[in-house]
Chains A and B, each alone.
Chain A
């Protein structure tokens, strides 16, 4: 009995230590998809590609690459990129892209255009030459969305 009190106090202290069960961070990041839009663009032309947004969140468009067709290196030319809604003909075939937002930019490894778009299946990403292109070029656009 001589050690009963201190042992009881020690046990109480140890039992009070720690509260590990509620400290784990809970992942809340929604899954995101990255699509590639690679093609060739000619002088004074434009190209578009359709994409879908599955849930609310930020959609980013990144003109990541603009290169000559038949030699290594990059082209430094200002291009117009943007997003909008697809235009369909009576048969439901996508025939165009009505732009909602555009900007002029040069290629970079970070997204140039970011907007919060509601879920829909009729978005399009667009690239156009606005006078900076002197020759046909390969381009790569990354579209990242929820």
Chain B
């Protein structure tokens, strides 16, 4: 046989891998970023639901608002809509999360609400990062 033929055989043989080294399943929950913008009326509250697929950290960043607003994270009401808050803060718009909380997998909601200071409707935008 020629040298080329033996070289080809060697290449095919080395291509055979050890299948046992790569068989461990590695669960890698995908991080999700959701953006949300809406308008908040005086005395009102606005809610958005989202799903956390694995345990991890929920981070909420109020990225745009002309005034300080209440922002919270909780679980959706079983009936009637709305949100049962577990954590909340008075937040001004910024680029760093105003809420960062460890959470189990499950259904959650974020709520933005008037702290009693609004005289006119105000627009807001926020970002929700979660597993």
Contact = CB atoms under 8 A, between A and B. Distances in A.
Contacts of B15: 17
Contacts, number: 96
Contacts of A13: 9, 12-13, 16
A118 B91 CA distance: 45
B58 A64 contact: no
Interface string A111-146: 100000000000000000000000000101010100
B84 A34 contact: no
B85 to A, nearest CB: 5
A142 B84 contact: no
Interface of A: 5-6, 9-10, 13-14, 16-20, 23, 25, 34, 36, 38, 60, 62, 64-67, 72-74, 107-111, 138, 140, 142, 144
24 contacts: A6-B5, A10-B12, A13-B16, A16-B16, A20-B19, A23-B22, A23-B23, A38-B77, A38-B84, A62-B104, A65-B75, A65-B84, A65-B85, A72-B72, A72-B85, A73-B85, A74-B72, A107-B87, A108-B86, A108-B101, A108-B102, A109-B86, A109-B87, A140-B74
Interface of B: 1, 5-6, 8-9, 12-13, 15-17, 19, 22-23, 25, 45, 55, 58, 70, 72-75, 77-78, 84-88, 101-104, 106, 108, 111, 113-114
Q: Which 5 A-B pairs have the closest CB atoms?
A: A109-B103, A65-B84, A23-B23, A25-B25, A72-B113
